[in-house]
Each structure stands twice: as structure tokens, then as C-alpha cells.
Amino acid sequence: MAIAPRLRERLAQEALLLRKAFPNAVIDPEALVVTLTDYKLPAGWSHNRTDVLFAIPTNYPAGQPDNICARPDLTLADGSVPGNSQGIQTHAEQQWLQFSYHVDPNDWRPTANPEVGSNLADYLAGALTRLEEAS
């Protein structure tokens, strides 16, 4: 997928911010996803670590990311389906278990300088709260 030059430039700017906040995170500008590898999960999940992914909208940063994904075989420790999971989705040619996570549009305030306004690192930090408690 060819992305707009302005979006490619923005993602390059944000890559440094993202890696500073999450050293295991990378932006794939071709697939328009952010992947965080080897995220440590708290007790209560079926696994103690997972990779995490979220999609970057094509109208980013005006359009905010939505939802977060984890490994497709992630369940609660008792084998039950986690709450707010939306089933298996395909992103970047891989299957992921998608969880509902949304930022209130009034709280999404991107600026020309990603260090000052809302950015991908902020979104990831908020989205990871969905995985902080197994439920």
C-alpha cells in the first residue's frame, strides 16, 4: 500500500518517540501498524507474554488509532474468552485477537509536533491498560 508522503514523514518522526517509550515497539509504515513485541502480561492470562499490535488509520494523525490486538490464542487463565474481545482479525497478514479500546475523540489532540500533542506512544500506553488486568 502506498502511503501519503506526509503520513510517511509523520511516522518517521514518531518512530523515535515510540522507541523511547517502548524499546520493543516498531512502526511498519507499509502495513500501517505498530507492533510491540514480548509485552509482559500480569497474572490471570493464559500466557505471561504477548506481542501487541494496533493499526494506524490512513488519515493519521487527524484520525486516531482504534482497538488493540494480542496473540490470537490469548485467553484468561481459566481458558475463557476475555471481555471486550472482538474475535480474530487479520492485520499485517497475521491473525490477532482484537480488543475494544477507544480514546474519547475530545482527548485526541494531535499537533504538528508529535512531541507536544497526541501521538502513537500515548495511544499505546493507554491501550496497554486494557491488558493490565485479566478480565
Report the CATH number at residue 51.
3.10.110
In which domain, by residue range, is 98 found? Answer: 5-132
Q: Is 37 helix (H, G, I), strand (E, B) or coil?
A: strand
Kindly state the cell numbers that stand for 81: 474468552
pLDDT for 133 equals 86
Domain total of the chain? 1
pLDDT for 2 equals 73
**DSSP E strands, 2-133:** 25-28, 33-40, 49-55, 68-70, 85-91, 94-99
pTM of the model: 0.94
pLDDT for 3 equals 84
Q: Are 117 and 109 in contact (CB under 8 A)?
A: yes
Cα 45 from Cα 83, distance rounded (Å): 12
User: What residue ranges of the chain have pLDDT lower than 50?
Assistant: none
